[in-house]
Amino acid sequence: MKTILAIALLFPSICFSAEKYAWQWSKDEPFSSSYLNILTGKKIDTWIYTLKGPSGKSKMVSIENEKWNLITTCKTHNCANNNISIIYNEKSKKIYALINSSNTFFVGNPSQPLKDFLLKEHEYKYKFSNVKERLKNTNAM
């Protein structure tokens, strides 16, 4: 009886949760279509395309009065130097990312407030990635 009650209590939160792991977002058709579009023509590692690496669940954030999903992940066994922060608006299908790998750069042409948000969140999540310095070296700030 307790097991049934526990499942019943958990089920609604599982069904209605917009929070997903990064690899789950890569399986979501609207997201993956927008995501692959901004990566077209970029020389990047395979893990960035698949988003298969350690990640927590995404979280909903508000930037300039718009709702965005913040998605972060990194390369397995090399998180310090290979990580990505993505923001995705499900309504407009807009997507922007800060990629920190062999090169460090923004994709999707984010506005300055969106760049600032991505950089702040990225530095918080990946404290040892030295992303600000790496961006300066690639002139991407």
Nearest alpha-carbon partner for 64 in 141, 2, 116: 116
- Number of domains composing the chain: 1
Q: Does residue 1 fall inside a structural domain?
A: no
Residue 82 is part of which domain span?
19-137
Is residue 28 situated within a structural domain? yes
- 2, part of any domain: no
CA atoms of 37 and 32, how far apart (whole Å): 8
The answer to whether the CB of 45 falls within 8 A of the CB of 98 is no
DSSP 3-state assignment of 18? coil
Is 10 a member of any domain?
no
77 lies in some domain: yes
Task: Kindly state whether residue 47 falls inside one of the protein's structural domains.
Answer: yes
- pLDDT per position in the chain (141 positions), as tens? 555 444 444 444 344 446 999 999 999 999 999 999 999 999 899 999 999 999 999 999 999 899 999 999 999 999 988 999 999 999 999 999 999 998 999 999 999 999 999 999 999 999 888 888 888 887 665
Residue 30 inside a domain? The answer is yes
CATH number of the domain enclosing 82: 3.40.1420.10
On whether residue 9 sits in a domain, the answer given is: no
Q: Is the dihedral angle over the CA atoms 58, 62, 63, 67 positive or is it negative?
A: positive
Phi, psi of 11 (to 5 degrees): -55, -50
